[in-house]
Structure 1
Amino acid sequence: MRFRASIVNVLTFSRIMQSIERLQKKCIMRFTEERMDIICNEDTDGGIQVWSQVKVDTLFEDYRIQSNANNEISLALAPEALLQALKSAMDASEVVMKLAKKNNHAVLNFSIVGMSHQQKRVLVSHDVRIDVLLPSDVAKLKEPLCPEPDIHIILPPLQKLRTVVDHMRQMSDVMMIEANHLGDLKISVENDDVMVDTKWTKCTIPTMGESIHVTFDSLTLEPTQDADREEPEPSRLFYVCLSIRSFIKFLSSHVVSTTTIACICEQHCIILYVYIGEAGDNGGVLTFYIPTRLND
């Protein structure tokens, strides 16, 4: 088993890890010849999961991978530890990441070349402890099963959403997101004393009769034929109630997002596609699943 790559986009890699490091103590990273997947699928507070695909040449050059499992390697590691290694490489002129062993345990080794204050070349080595997963264990990983979304809508900039939701979390543990096919989007919270909502209008949505297909090969909206699916009244609001804490964790992805598409499966979940680069660039996508929560 061999793996080695030069990281040419440390900032984007760091922002990706920043988006997920608060979700759980360990994540799974799966490397193939074409992409890097990042998976957070353990039971967490609020039930949020992440299934991400990033194209290899979005982050790496001189990418070499070899294994007996169709040249795929899957690792479990602490996102916080990986993020710290990437932060230490932020100003480096060269960063090489490779599989290695230290004290008889597998690690991801980061060989970081930088310059000292005296303008001398400095080499720093940083190890992140990992567990290499068996192919049989990786085969058991399955994305959540979700119904066909009732609506999909392009969200306002996540930084603006974060400001709104940060104010709301003092009032309730549960928030409601509503959207319709006129492009109206509303976020609201309520308690025994007050109800607060913020509304956006004219948000971009795909034309009815289209569905989102987010895969490594296609990060686009494609038309689908569903003769049994009735078109809803355009003004009808579809809604989902969510844990505010989970939604705020998702909003950490504002550091990497350009376009974010929300898909509401009413009374079931919300699926959020955060694009790395513009939606048509196929750089990659972080997919967040947040289940519905009843408002007590």
Structure 2
Amino acid sequence: MRFRATVQNVLTFYRLIQTVDKLQKKCIIKFSETAMRIICNNDEGGVQVWSKIRVDSLFTDYRILSHSNNEITLNLPTEALSTALRSASAEHTGANEVIMKLAKKNNLPVLSFEIFGTSHMGRRVKVAHDVRIEVMKPADVALLTEPRCPEPDVRWVDPQPKANSSGCLRLSASTEVVKADITWNNCLHPRIAADGASQTSTGLEDEEQGRERSDPKQLFSVLVHTRSFLKFLNAHAVSKTTIACICQAHCLILFVYIGDSADVGGVLTFYIPSVLDN
């Protein structure tokens, strides 16, 4: 089993891990020949994140070899990975080369980061970070399944849930003593194109090609915990484009697109379950 890559887009990688670190303290990262997938599926509030990021949007000189179809799946602490990437970020250290690779230290597997930069005196310096990892067995990886959800009743593009097919979005927040409503009109309605068997995709189609609504002014809603919705809002550092879907009384699905709309590098998909309204 071998893995090595140069992290070309350090800041985006750091922001991705920073986002999932707000969700849970461990995540699963699956590397393949063409994509990196980040999975968070153990949040106490039921929020899940499933993502697919193109290799060429983050890495160069990318090499992977394994007996499992050249796929390697790791379970690792998000905080330690975030710390390593923060050190590697050009925004903080001026690093000009960051190499990520699988290694062993004291006979334990690690994801090793070698960060090369230049000192104030013009000398080349090297900083190393090792993140302890667990390499997952293929049998355990096979048990990982993305949430199965019904066809969304309505979709819309930010702003970020009651919504309808005529472009009206209403966001309500309530406590025992106060309730507040905010309404947006003329929201855009995209359609999420299928990406094989996965519900995660980066293609957009006009929703007019989708199923027609008998009453475009009918509002669809889902009740979610505020703390769950706030975990999604941490993704603002990754992208400014989000497409949201409501599965009536079932869940809220949010697609956070990485990169420019003309060249989408990947997508983080948030699944936020509904809660019972007592």
- One fold, TM greater than 0.5? yes
Does 2:203 align with 1:220?
yes
Residue pair 2:189, 2:206 contacting (<8 A) in 1 also: no
Paired with 2:192 and 2:258, the residues of 1 have a C-alpha distance of: 20
Q: Which residue of 2 aligns with 1:136?
A: 139
Residue pair 2:68, 2:138 contacting (<8 A) in 1 also: yes
Q: List structure 1 segments (4+ residues) > 6 angstroms apart after TM superposition.
A: 223-227
From 229, 232, 254, the equivalent of 1:250 is: 232
SS in 2 for 1:219: coil
Paired with 1:201 and 1:18, the residues of 2 have a C-alpha distance of: 32
Using structure 2 for the length normalisation, give the TM-score.
Answer: 0.92
Does 2:36 align with 1:36?
yes
> Which is further off, 103-112 or 187-196?
187-196
Q: Following TM superposition, by how much is the alpha carbon of 1:225 offset from its aligned partner in structure 2, in angstroms?
A: 11
Residue pair 2:201, 2:267 contacting (<8 A) in 1 also: no
Residue pair 2:173, 2:179 contacting (<8 A) in 1 also: yes
Paired with 1:73 and 1:221, the residues of 2 have a C-alpha distance of: 30
Aligned residues: 272
1:184–1:214 Cα change, 3 Å:
farther
Using structure 1 for the length normalisation, give the TM-score.
Answer: 0.87
Q: Following TM superposition, by how much is the alpha carbon of 1:149 offset from its aligned partner in structure 2, in angstroms?
A: 0.3
SS in 2 for 1:37: strand
1:148–1:280 Cα change, 3 Å:
farther
Q: Which residue of 1 aligns with 2:241?
A: 259
Written as runs of structure 1 = structure 2, the 5 A alignment for 1:47-62 is 47-62=46-61
Paired with 1:192 and 1:25, the residues of 2 have a C-alpha distance of: 31
Identity score, percent: 54
Does 2:137 align with 1:186?
no
Q: Which residue of 1 aligns with 2:251?
A: 269
Q: Which has the higher contact order (CA 8 A, sep 6+)?
A: 1
Does 2:274 align with 1:287?
no
Residue pair 1:218, 1:282 contacting (<8 A) in 2 also: no
Structure 2 regions of 5+ residues with no counterpart?
A: none
1:258–1:6 Cα change, 3 Å:
same
In the alignment, residue 276 of structure 2 is paired with which amino acid? L
Q: Following TM superposition, by how much is the alpha carbon of 1:283 offset from its aligned partner in structure 2, in angstroms?
A: 0.6
Residue pair 2:157, 2:189 contacting (<8 A) in 1 also: yes
Structure 1 regions of 5+ residues with no counterpart?
A: 162-176
